[in-house]
Amino acid sequence: MTTRLLLLFSLAATVLLSSPVLAEDVLPSWRAGAARDAILEFVEQVTDESGPHFVPPKERVATFDNDGTLWAEQPVYFQLFFTLDRVRAMAPEHPEWKTTQPFQSVLENDMDALMAGGEESLIPLLLATHTGMTTDEFSATVSDWLATAVHPVLQRPYTDLVYQPMLELLDYLRDHGFHTYITSGGGIEFMRPWVEAVYGIPPEQVIGSSLEMEYEVVDGKPVLRKLPELHFFDDKEGKPIAIQRFIGRRPIASFGNSDGDFQMLEWTAAGDGLRLAVYVHHTDADREWAYDRDSHIGRLDRGLNEAPGRGWIVVDMKRDWEVVFPFELEEK
Amino acid sequence: MTTRLLLLFSLAATVLLSSPVLAEDVLPSWRAGAARDAILEFVEQVTDESGPHFVPPKERVATFDNDGTLWAEQPVYFQLFFTLDRVRAMAPEHPEWKTTQPFQSVLENDMDALMAGGEESLIPLLLATHTGMTTDEFSATVSDWLATAVHPVLQRPYTDLVYQPMLELLDYLRDHGFHTYITSGGGIEFMRPWVEAVYGIPPEQVIGSSLEMEYEVVDGKPVLRKLPELHFFDDKEGKPIAIQRFIGRRPIASFGNSDGDFQMLEWTAAGDGLRLAVYVHHTDADREWAYDRDSHIGRLDRGLNEAPGRGWIVVDMKRDWEVVFPFELEEK
């Protein structure tokens, strides 16, 4: 290549690559304030090659809780809505459910009776709807459900109920060389069919709870069958354990919304160098829901107490988010 | 940008990106033959955007067994050598080991007595040397050991005993957009400290066996402590199960050397589209070891029987590899 050509190439590359991004252009659904500033400042510092806090791209791991952090979780976890819908859909093949609890309560739409037994009492529903089939069959069932199911309160498809500011944050972090992982208490196999399209998070970056599986060869064709036994519950202490097992690197940034995320944030924040630990606090009863210390879902108590003293960021959804759900943008 | 500049830019990009690679230049330690041809042909087909077998880069997942596939495994798994060396190093703190089996056999260098009890009898050694410490402490111990330990037969550092043709294959696949994962029966935490430097495989692409862990806060600092209980054994049926759990995509290419890899190859080969399933067959008693059906390590029996009928490739190390270990290149 001639010197002249090289020069032109370099010029052209500069033009193509260096359109500057102003701080106002990024995270547009985040209102100016301490939370947004802390995030921008952190990303700037860990990506500044000449600064003291630089982190190489391969170590830029950010982990996100899902329920209540990336999408809504009220009035109950969406995976429970899936479970109830599946019980109704499968009921014709199980006439005995009409007179067997907890199935009977589901079929009679008696949510009070159903929830009275606590989370333990829901396990038979989970096993009936999440096990026995192959992983491929389950994945297809989840996709089919999401294509038609509607949230009973907000009357929207569930995948509409993701948080616009968090979608922008995921993109922003990835644009800055971060690897964005989900670390959810929900099921890995329940998330994988849709999180790549919705969040841009590929299957290999989804960590969550899981059931045991069995490898079986049926008519010469191998399948993986989901078994009625818990393999791993990815909550509380489970989150840093799963992060270590799946990723083998400590995140430099973590995002959660409940005490179930406390240990993940603690583990992240305790690493060497600059770290970012963020709680999303549900404070907006008008646009979403307002809940924390006493909530039956996504309880945030210890986290609220300790976040300030630990230097963790608490995002106040009502104060810090200009937009909550993506559909608000269309309505504007 | 002017049209002229665009044209020059495009020209320059063409010059920079299209230096052609001849088939003879790749996989130089592989001798010409059916195995090498099958690998090259497969990669060419799945990366040909205009062809019928094109696979998008994100789905180009290749999984590799470690012991006997990427590095040697004779006369016993290297992780067992690590275990024995650790028993010797820790013995001063455990005077009772002098008269307690199986520790006594290790300290007396009586390998026959040690191995007579079968693999089960080695478990106390594994627990004594792999549990109780934090993940960070264990990782440092593995790194320290590798820095000084020498293979008792080949008198080389263990990380010298990786297979040069497989290193070239890993690079070649990654150069073609593949994501290369380890799926080993060995311990995840034993591999992660060194596989990135040696194979170019980052921690988040290491799948293997694992012990339970405990999250604990010591003097305000969280640690992950390794517990004396097996969490998952990544062998045989466990390999496709772990692949599903960690990656959530079915590999399009898999590489193994024993019947412990059979189900991984079967699961890979049974996917839709073009697939590559490869066995490395240890046939070279001069340069490495020759073993298969009757070996106590890396037994390959069913795999040898069924590979031809299933269209799986069997690499004959003696016939197909010009070089086995990287140090042979320096000696040439």
pLDDT, position B22: 58
Query: Alpha-carbon distance A71 to A79, whole Å?
Result: 12
Question: What was the ipTM of the complex prediction?
Answer: 0.92
Each residue of A258-277: pLDDT tens digit? 999 999 999 999 999 999 99
pLDDT, position B119: 78
Burial profile A283-298: b = 16 or more Cβ within 10 angstroms, e = fewer: bbeeebbebbeebebb
Q: Do A204 and B248 touch (CB under 8 A)?
A: yes
What are the contacts of A307-311 at 24+ separation with CB within 8 A? A307/A277, A307/A279, A310/A266, A310/A269, A310/A277, A311/A269, A311/A277
What are the contacts of B169-172 at 24+ separation with CB within 8 A? B169/B27, B169/B30, B169/B39, B169/B255, B170/B64, B170/B70, B170/B199, B170/B200, B170/B201, B171/B200, B172/B26, B172/B27, B172/B43
DSSP 3-state helix, strand, coil percentages of chain B (rounded to 5)?
Answer: 50, 20, 35
pLDDT, position B292: 98
Query: Alpha-carbon distance A97 to B173, whole Å?
Result: 52
Each residue of B231-258: pLDDT tens digit? 999 999 999 999 999 999 999 999 999 9
pLDDT, position A15: 43
Amino acid at B36: R
In sign, the C-alpha dihedral spanning B64, B69, B74, B78 is: negative
Each residue of A287-332: pLDDT tens digit? 999 999 999 899 999 999 999 999 999 999 999 999 999 999 987 7
pLDDT, position B4: 52
Tell me which residue of A159, A133, A126 sits closest to A145, measured CA to CA: A159
- Report the Cα–Cα distance between both ends of chain B, in Å, rounded: 53
A297 touches chain B (CB under 8 A): no
Distance from CA of B290 to the nearest CA of A (A): 31
Q: Are A280 and A69 in contact (CB under 8 A)?
A: yes
Each residue of A4-20: pLDDT tens digit? 544 445 544 444 444 44
Chosen from A135, A184, A215, A221 to mutate, greatest number of chain B CBs within 10 A:
A215
| Dihedral over alpha carbons B153, B157, B163, B165 (to 10 degrees) | -130
Q: Indicate if the pLDDT at residue A282 is higher than 50.
A: yes
Chosen from B6, B134, B244 to mutate, greatest number of chain A CBs within 10 A:
B244
Nearest Cβ partner for A221 among B224, B237, B270: B270
Q: Are B258 and B299 in contact (CB under 8 A)?
A: yes
Nearest Cβ partner for A188 among B11, B203, B245: B245
A197 touches chain B (CB under 8 A): no
Distance from CA of B196 to the nearest CA of A (A): 12
Residues of B in contact with A237 (CB under 8 A): 214-215
Q: Indicate if the pLDDT at residue A22 is higher than 70.
A: no
Retrieve residue A146's tokens. Answer: 């999401």
Each residue of B19-61: pLDDT tens digit? 445 566 899 999 999 999 999 999 999 999 999 999 999 999 9
Q: What is the DSSP string of A6-60?
A: HHHHHHHHHHHH-----GGGSSTTBPSSHHHHHHHHHHHHHT-TTSTT---GGG-
* Mean of the per-residue pLDDT values of chain A: 93
pLDDT, position B16: 46
Q: How large a percentage of chain A has pLDDT more than 70?
A: 93
CB atoms inside a 10 Å sphere around CB A228: 14
pLDDT, position B117: 80
pLDDT, position B15: 43
Rg of chain A on CA atoms, in Å? 22
pLDDT, position B327: 97
Mean pLDDT value across residues A158-170? 98
CB atoms inside a 10 Å sphere around CB A108: 11
Banded model confidence at residue B115, pLDDT cuts 50, 70, 90:
confident
Nearest Cβ partner for A215 among B135, B179, B241: B241
How many CB pairs (< 8 A) connect A and B?
A: 100
Each residue of B150-178: pLDDT tens digit? 999 999 999 999 999 999 999 999 999 99
Each residue of B276-316: pLDDT tens digit? 999 999 999 999 999 999 998 999 999 999 999 999 999 99
Query: Alpha-carbon distance A24 to A30, whole Å?
Result: 10
* Closest B-chain CA to A238: B215
Q: What is the DSSP letter of B31?
A: P
Q: Indicate if the pLDDT at residue B3 is higher than 60.
A: no
Q: How large a percentage of chain A has pLDDT more than 90?
A: 87
Each residue of A190-214: pLDDT tens digit? 999 999 999 999 999 999 999 999 9
Residues of B in contact with A16 (CB under 8 A): 9
Is A144 strand, coil or helix? helix
Mean pLDDT value across residues B208-230? 97
Each residue of A219-235: pLDDT tens digit? 999 999 999 999 999 99
Q: Which helix (H) or strand (E) holds B84?
A: helix B78-90
Chosen from B204, B235, B266 to mutate, greatest number of chain A CBs within 10 A:
B204
pLDDT, position A18: 46
pLDDT, position A117: 80
